[in-house]
Chains A and B, each alone.
Chain A
Amino acid sequence: MKSEPEVRAALRDWVVRTNGQVSPADIRDDTPILERRIVKSLDLMDLILFLEELRGLPIDVEALKPGVFRSIDAIWTNFFAGASV
Chain B
Amino acid sequence: MSGIPGLRWMENGQASLSGPLLELERRLERMFLSWAAAEGAAEHRFPTFLPARELGKLDYFRSFAHLVTFPVALDPAQPNLEQFACGEPMTDDGEIRLTRAAPIRDVLTPAACYHFYVAFQGETLAAARHVTTRATCFRREAFYAPLERQWSFSMREIVCIGTSDEVKAFLARREAAAEAAWRRIDLPIEWKHATDPFFQPSKNPKYLAQKLDPVKREMVFQDRLAVGSSNFHRNCFGEAFHIRRAGEDAFSGCIAFGIERWILAIVTRFGPDPGAWPDLETG
Contact = CB atoms under 8 A, between A and B. Distances in A.
A71 to B, nearest CB: 11
A42 B239 CA distance: 14
Contact of A37 (B193, B211, B212, B236): B236
A41 B206 CA distance: 5
A61 B208 contact: yes
Q: How large is the interface on B (under 10, 10 to 19, 20 to 34, 35 or more residues)?
A: 10 to 19
B234 A37 contact: yes
Contact of B212 (A34, A36, A40): A34
Contacts of B234: 34-37
Interface in A10-38: 34-37
A75 B239 CA distance: 26
A24 B209 CA distance: 23
Contact of A36 (B164, B193, B208): B164
Interface of A: 34-37, 40-42, 44-45, 61, 64-70
Given A36-B235, A37-B239, A44 B212 contact: yes
B193 A44 contact: no
B214 interface: yes
B205 interface: yes
B95 interface: no
Contacts of A35: 164, 213, 234
Interface of B is mostly: helix
Interface of B: 164, 193, 205-206, 208-209, 211-214, 234-236, 239
Contacts of B212: 34, 44, 64-69
A66 B214 contact: yes
B211 A66 contact: yes
A37 B214 CA distance: 13
B193, B211, B214, B239: most-surrounded residue (chain A CB, <10 A) = B211
Contacts of A64: 208, 211-212
Nearest to B193: A66
